[in-house]
Amino acid sequence: MEKRYSPKELFKRLYTSVQEAGELALDLPNDIREILFKLKEGKLRVEFEHKGLEPMTHKLDVVSNRIAFAIIVAAMILGSAIVIHAKIPPMYHNVPILGIVTFVLAGFFAFRLLYSISKHGKM
């Protein structure tokens, strides 16, 4: 520790730091000129690296898939209601078969979506 903080060692480190700062000061105008030239030419590229976004993008994928699935189920329910209301043949007991089948299928998909949400939690 005595050697590390001796005046001679401190002076060596100070000299090295001043020398590096001088080299930086000499290189800085050229670096700035190069950056400005690339900026004028439209060739300046800035690269960012985002860290820690993978879990969020996975959650976003899951949420967007659930929303899309819910919209499809809602459209199936509305479509089956329109078919039933319009009384489009073929009929079974005065109710359109296509409307019943679509409504049952939409119900199955809705329960599957609810099961998936409850299974993975965080409704």
Domain segments of the chain: what residues? 1-47, 54-120
CB atoms within 10 A of CB 80: 21
Per-residue pLDDT, 3: 78
Q: Which pLDDT tens digit goes with each residue over 46-67?
A: 888 888 888 888 888 888 988 9
How far is Cα 12 from Cα 18, in angstroms, rounded to an integer?
Answer: 10
The residue with greater pLDDT, 69 or 46, is: 69
- What's the sign of the alpha-carbon dihedral 93, 96, 101, 106? negative
Asked whether the predicted pLDDT for residue 73 surpasses 90, the reply is yes
Give the pLDDT band (50/70/90) at residue 9: confident
Q: What is the DSSP letter of 91?
A: E
Residues 6+ positions from 44 with CB-CB distance below 8 Å: 35, 38
